[in-house]
Amino acid sequence: MKRTILIALLVCLALPLLAADDVNKMIRANTEVFDSAMRAGNVEGFMAFYAKDAVLMPPNSPAFNGADNIRKFWGGLLSMGKADVDLVTDDVLTSGDLAIERGHFELTTPFKDSGKYIVVWRKRDGKWQMIDDIFNSSLAPPAPAAQ
């Protein structure tokens, strides 16, 4: 009897860890698809991960509120040429229907950049969606133009 109770207790304690591992794998897989779609210039392919009310906070810019404005931002960036991007998830923290992804990136468009990012994911209707996306460069800002 004691053994059965102990096994049941261990199973109950392990379930949240298994669920967190599943979320971690799902977020990492979503980021790989996002990365591939961006490299292919497929805006709709990665926009599928943004919630309708998501907020994108790029560096040196105001926030872009809502999927339509985020789509315009990324469409404008990708219209400058092919984006060779490499997104790497460093860590995923989970709590219920929320997950926080922390990672770093390398980006080459007409310019090169590298930096870090944080994405807040929320599970809605059984689907993990990006609700907040912020990134910034690790490179020093360019020197001001000589006058």
pTM of the predicted protein model:
0.81
Q: Are 112 and 54 in contact (CB under 8 A)?
A: no
CA–CA gap between residue 55 and residue 108 (Å, rounded): 23
CA–CA gap between residue 52 and residue 141 (Å, rounded): 32
Q: Is 13 exposed, middle or buried (0-12, 13-18, 19+ CB in 10 A)?
A: exposed
Q: Are 58 and 135 in contact (CB under 8 A)?
A: yes
Q: How many CB atoms lie within 10 A of CB 38?
A: 23
Residues belonging to the chain: 147
Each residue's pLDDT, cut to its tens digit, for the chain (147 residues) gives: 555 544 444 344 444 543 567 899 999 999 999 888 888 888 999 999 999 999 999 998 999 999 999 999 999 888 877 778 899 999 999 999 999 999 999 988 777 889 999 999 999 999 999 999 999 999 887 778 777
Q: Which domains does the chain have, with CATH numbers?
A: 17-137 (3.10.450.50)
The two tokens of residue 88 are 């790497």
Tell me the Cα Rg of the chain: 19
